[in-house]
Chain A
Amino acid sequence: MRNVSHLAIAALTLSVSLAGSAYAADPVKVGVTVTQSPPGSVVQGTQVKDGLEVAAKMLNDQGGVLGRPIELVVEDTQGLPEKARAAVEKLITRDKVVAIVGEHQSSNVLAGMEVAHRYHVPYINTNGWADAIREKGYPEVFNPNNYNRRVAMAAADSIKKLGAKKVVAFAENTDYGIGLAKGIAEQLKAVAPDISYRFDTLDRAAKDYLPAILPLRSDPPDVVVDIMLPPAAYIMMNQVYEQGVAPATKTWLYDASGLADYPDFWQNVKEAGKDMLVFGLYHPKMKAPELAKTIGDAYTKKTGAQPSRLLYQAADSLLVVADAIKRANSTEPDPLVKALEATKYTGTRGEITFSTESGYKYHQWLDIPYVTFQITEIGQKVADAPLVEQAGQPLDPSKLARP
């Protein structure tokens, strides 16, 4: 059973005096930690993995970096911090990778970046939203992706625009979930102190959230906020709908986790997804650089699936590393980290730069674009979902469709 064998690698979650830096050998090895099996989100992991492979192929077709091909070494984390931490240790000590990319769960980033920091190996956080990751201030860690504070602001503004009085959030019991739930609380206090807001922490391994949901039946809130990832999020949504809580005429369902563009979204939810408001980091109607189309097409060709935010985040993570290696003309940690800090690279979602301000802004690409859209039909493609908030503009309630 996995939980047992994982202990072995968990054993390696310790810094070691020997083998300080991963010294390079043909080809350039880049370590990847993604979720390939439960309880973590396999769907996320697969999207990220595909995205990285697409980007790697593109780079290698263009001759790789420093004339050497890029090789991805992939480790499964099951979405478990202990395994993520172990995986990073294994990648660095055993496979001697020059950088780590791909992690898509905050808790795993927090565990894995510790190791990377100890070995002083660059760590590109592909989809860890928790502000704590930035606040650690590790020079090796870079974040070309979304961060909780930004979602919190967006969510708070939207909730305010929706004119809600009572808001309940369901957050998964992870750094991401709890962090974002608290973040929204702070933002709401700032922008709309009169809104009553509370959040329940749900175990993402559980199958039955009714005990948390049933009490809402008697007095439903105006907005239910989802701060969970699949598959737990789907179960929660279905039960929230099944109990007639949301989406309902009285109650909006606001998704703060970007659920809608998961390929298995409609396999798992039906009516439960209709009329849902989605905080989106990607929407085909967003304007994007040329590279996005190239990568997107390659991805669709490879997987048959539509492009998604994770695809682009994954691709950018690797492209940023490649770009830094080229500029540094080396794969050694120190020059690499320097080069990364100086990044000014137009990836698939815009020009990526990393702030050096401390706090949640540290090594963060501050202005990643986002939108808000509403699912108006069961089985609707994201592309067809109407935008109710353009990137950089406030949410427009007139565009909303009441359930």
Chain B
Amino acid sequence: MLTGALAADLAVNGLVTGLFYALMAVGLALIFGVLRIVNFAHGEFYMVGAYAYTIVAARLGVPLAVALPTAFLFGAALGWIVERTLMRPLYANIATWGLMRDEYAVIVTFGLSLLLVNLVDKAIGPYAFRAPALVSASRIVVGPALMSGQKVAAAGVTLVTLAFIALFLRFSYWGRAVRAVSQNRLGASLAGIDATAVSSLVFALAGGLAALAGALLSPIINASPDVGAFPAIKSYVIVVLGGMGSILGAFIASLLLGLVESFGAVLVSYQYRDTFGLVLLILFLLFRPQGLFGERGREV
């Protein structure tokens, strides 16, 4: 039943979805690369971004060109604060802890996620907010596929942002510093790189990107307190597939997951489409922990 037209449709839509995933996952991969932890509050950065954009654009009536960066900054600020207040102990000597490093990281980020979700739920309310679309066109032809203008615009912004991030990591001093620290924290700090500052930077960046993703999609998904849970889980899957900590891996894995879900939903099962990624995650962790491209092995 898979006609050429349908296949093209699924491919285009899958890739676009993958782009959005990437915006979330890259940040998570950066954090893991530098700190060796999974941020279980990543989805809440996304949620905060969605609200920031919606409130700034819809309530305060600020132009979208301003609202989007505002969302990014919101997420970045949050990420920075989180790193400063909660992540510092991770570099401290943890031998004497009642809690070990990994447990601490999981509990704290997990608790943070609960905190943010409920804070927003109480402070702003459980209602879903509708955000103004980036463009009003409700149908645009994209190659073989049709797509809502909002989606096309969001995809465009995403592409630009990702390209920018890539250049930043590749060429800027701080970009190189980030890569150095994720390869060898000790070595990097011996080489005079401020690993702590890099950690802050990475958290801010990750927070900003996730928030931007939330902002871009809020017109489609409608901001609500628990809106982050889903994209977060997707990005966990992606980070594992791409090889924990590998940025390029995360990007490619994002597109891949997008395609897998898009085709799987039609060819395999619509009902269980969301389990595909999770099954992949488990299989990868068990049989190919270094992911598709990562070199690093599982910590045993």
Known: A1-B118, A211-B270. A241 touches B128 (CB 8 A): no
Q: Tell whether, in the assembled complex, residue A215 and residue B126 are in contact, meaning their CB atoms are under 8 Å apart.
A: no
Contact residues in B for A242 (Cβ distance below 8 Å): 138-139, 146-148
Q: Tell whether, in the assembled complex, residue A267 and residue B130 are in contact, meaning their CB atoms are under 8 Å apart.
A: yes
- Docked complex Cα distance between A162 and B148 (Å): 29
Q: Tell whether, in the assembled complex, residue A38 and residue B128 are in contact, meaning their CB atoms are under 8 Å apart.
A: yes
Q: Tell whether, in the assembled complex, residue A238 and residue B1 are in contact, meaning their CB atoms are under 8 Å apart.
A: no
- Contact for A243 among B146, B222, B273, CB less than 8 A: B146
Query: Chain B interface: which of A268-276, A307-315, A349-357?
Result: A268-276
Per-position binary interface string of chain B over residues 185-198, scored 1 when its CB falls under 8 Å from any chain A CB and 0 otherwise: 00000000000000
* Shortest beta-carbon distance from B87 to chain A in Å: 24
Q: Tell whether, in the assembled complex, residue B10 and residue A38 are in contact, meaning their CB atoms are under 8 Å apart.
A: no
For chain B, the count of residues having a C-beta within 8 Å of the partner chain is 34
Interface residues on A, range: 20 to 34
A218 is an interface residue with CB less than 8 A from chain B = yes
B13 is an interface residue with CB less than 8 A from chain A = yes
- Contact for B221 among A207, A215, A271, CB less than 8 A: A207
- Contact for B224 among A38, A210, A238, A270, CB less than 8 A: A38
Q: Tell whether, in the assembled complex, residue A217 and residue B5 are in contact, meaning their CB atoms are under 8 Å apart.
A: yes
A214 is an interface residue with CB less than 8 A from chain B = yes
Contact residues in A for B273 (Cβ distance below 8 Å): 211
- Contact for A238 among B10, B148, B226, B266, CB less than 8 A: B148
- Docked complex Cα distance between A201 and B271 (Å): 9
A296 is an interface residue with CB less than 8 A from chain B = no
Q: Tell whether, in the assembled complex, residue A215 and residue B265 are in contact, meaning their CB atoms are under 8 Å apart.
A: no
* Shortest beta-carbon distance from A165 to chain B in Å: 19
- Docked complex Cα distance between A242 and B273 (Å): 22
* Shortest beta-carbon distance from B229 to chain A in Å: 10
Q: Tell whether, in the assembled complex, residue A231 and residue B222 are in contact, meaning their CB atoms are under 8 Å apart.
A: yes
- Contact for A241 among B9, B126, B139, B220, CB less than 8 A: B139
Classify the secondary structure of A's interface with B. helix
B102 is an interface residue with CB less than 8 A from chain A = no
A-B contact count (CB 8 A): 71
B262 is an interface residue with CB less than 8 A from chain A = yes
Q: Which of A38-71 contact B (CB under 8 A)?
A: 38, 42
B6 is an interface residue with CB less than 8 A from chain A = yes
A37 is an interface residue with CB less than 8 A from chain B = yes
Contact residues in B for A217 (Cβ distance below 8 Å): 5-6, 9, 146
Residue of A nearest to B263 (CB): A211
- Docked complex Cα distance between A147 and B53 (Å): 41
- Docked complex Cα distance between A2 and B229 (Å): 14
Q: Tell whether, in the assembled complex, residue A270 and residue B9 are in contact, meaning their CB atoms are under 8 Å apart.
A: no
Residue of A nearest to B13 (CB): A210
Q: Tell whether, in the assembled complex, residue B3 and residue A218 are in contact, meaning their CB atoms are under 8 Å apart.
A: yes
* Shortest beta-carbon distance from B209 to chain A in Å: 20
Q: Which of A274-293 contact B (CB under 8 A)?
A: none
A14 is an interface residue with CB less than 8 A from chain B = no
- Docked complex Cα distance between A207 and B230 (Å): 11
* Shortest beta-carbon distance from A360 to chain B in Å: 28
Known: A1-B226, A38-B127, A270-B138. A214 touches B13 (CB 8 A): yes
Known: A242-B138, A242-B139, A270-B138. A1 touches B222 (CB 8 A): no
A81 is an interface residue with CB less than 8 A from chain B = no
15 contacts between A and B (CB under 8 A): A1-B118, A1-B121, A36-B126, A37-B125, A38-B127, A200-B270, A211-B265, A212-B270, A214-B13, A215-B266, A218-B6, A235-B220, A238-B148, A242-B146, A242-B148
Interface residue ranges, B against A (CB under 8 Å): 1, 3, 5-6, 9-10, 13, 17, 114, 117-118, 121, 125-128, 130, 138-139, 146-148, 220-222, 224-226, 262, 265-266, 270-271, 273
Interface residue ranges, A against B (CB under 8 Å): 1-2, 36-38, 42, 78, 200-201, 207-208, 210-212, 214-215, 217-218, 231, 235, 238-239, 241-244, 267-268, 270-272
